[in-house]
Structure 1
Amino acid sequence: MLYRSRAVLAALWGGLLLCIAFVAAPSAFAVLERSQAGLLVGRLFALEAYISLAAGLLLMMMERRLGRDGGGPVFSVAMLLPAGALFCTVAGYFGLQPLMAAARAGQGGWSFMTLHALSFGFYGAKTLLVLVLAWRASKESGQSQS
Structure 2
Amino acid sequence: MPPVATRLTALLAGLWAGLLLCIATIATPAPFATLATADAGRVVGRIFAVEAYVSLALALVLFLLERAAARRRASVGEGSAFSADLVLVLGALFCTVLGYFALQPMMAAARVGQGRWSFGALHAVSFALFGLKGLLVLALAWRRTGAGWPPARHDVTPPPFA
TM-score (norm 2): 0.86
- The aligned amino acid for 1:39 is R
What's the CA shift for 1:144? 4.9
Is structure 2 residue 93 aligned with structure 1 residue 86? yes
Aligned to 1:115: 122
Is structure 2 residue 37 aligned with structure 1 residue 37? no
Aligned positions of 1:1-146 closer than 5 A: 1-71=4-74, 72-139=79-146, 143-144=154-155
- The structure number with the bigger radius of gyration is 2
Secondary structure of 1:54's partner?
helix
Runs of 4+ in 1 over 4 A off after TM superposition: 140-146
Q: Which structure shows the bigger proportion of residues in helix conformation?
A: 1
Q: Whole-Å Cα distance in 2 between the matches of residues 121 and 63 of structure 1?
A: 25
Q: Whole-Å Cα distance in 1 between the matches of residues 152 and 36 of structure 2?
A: 44
TM-score (norm 1): 0.95
Deviates more, 1:14-23 or 1:133-142: 133-142
Identity of matched residues, %: 54
What's the CA shift for 1:70? 2.6
Q: Compute the RMSD of aligned alpha carbons.
A: 1.5
Aligned length: 146
What's the CA shift for 1:75? 0.7
What's the CA shift for 1:69? 2.2
Structure 2 residue ranges without an equivalent (≥5): none
Q: Whole-Å Cα distance in 1 between the matches of residues 71 and 107 of structure 2?
A: 41
Q: RCO (CA 8 Å, sep 6+): is it higher in 1 or 2?
A: 1
Structure 1 residue ranges without an equivalent (≥5): none
- The aligned amino acid for 1:36 is D
